Amino acid sequence: MKTMTIGEFAARAGIAGSALRFYEEKGLIRSERNAGGQRRFQADQLRRVAFIKAAQSAGISLDEIQRALNALPEQRTPTKADWKNTSAGWRDQLDQRIADLTALRDRLTGCIGCGCLSLLACSLYNPEDKIRRFGSGARYLLGNRPADLTSIVQGQDDTLS
């Protein structure tokens, strides 16, 4: 079976040789070495690179991609069915990310996350700076929601006083 040099493989895969070396170091792809110690890639590794790039374009971390590839029997090249099954598992994560980004977009012009110190202008989302009780920083961007304030504002949560 014909193999490709790292330059040939990088050109076919559409990514830099340094990225290939990084993927190999992480165990995401593999190569063989010729007698001179140079990397040689089998064509089936192109599908693994395509799998990696498709997952990354969806915002999936390399650690998650690595777990998915490691779950394949004998480190084989992923099939279309493998992609379908794996990507279905990432669907909930992507849906949550979409919801978070949509909420951020919708709040973007009115609030930058309560931590911005514009407390007088933020009475709608953070009356009397009560969100500070959840900690420092941009609390809404860190996961708190305006609903978290409801019990505090109404005096129902004595644990944070």
Q: Report the CATH architecture of 6-107.
A: Orthogonal Bundle (1.10)
Sign of the dihedral defined by the CA atoms of residues 123, 127, 128, 129, in that order: negative
| Cβ partners under 8 Å of residue 44, min gap 6 | 77
Neighbour count for residue 31 (Cβ, 10 Å): 20
pTM of the model: 0.64
pLDDT (tens place) for every residue of the chain, 161 residues total: 789 999 999 999 999 999 999 999 999 999 999 999 999 999 999 999 999 999 999 999 999 999 999 988 877 889 889 889 988 989 998 999 899 888 777 766 655 555 555 554 565 566 667 777 777 777 777 777 767 766 655 555 444 44
Residue 161: strand, helix, or coil: coil
The structural domains of the chain, with segments of one domain joined by +, span: 6-107, 119-153
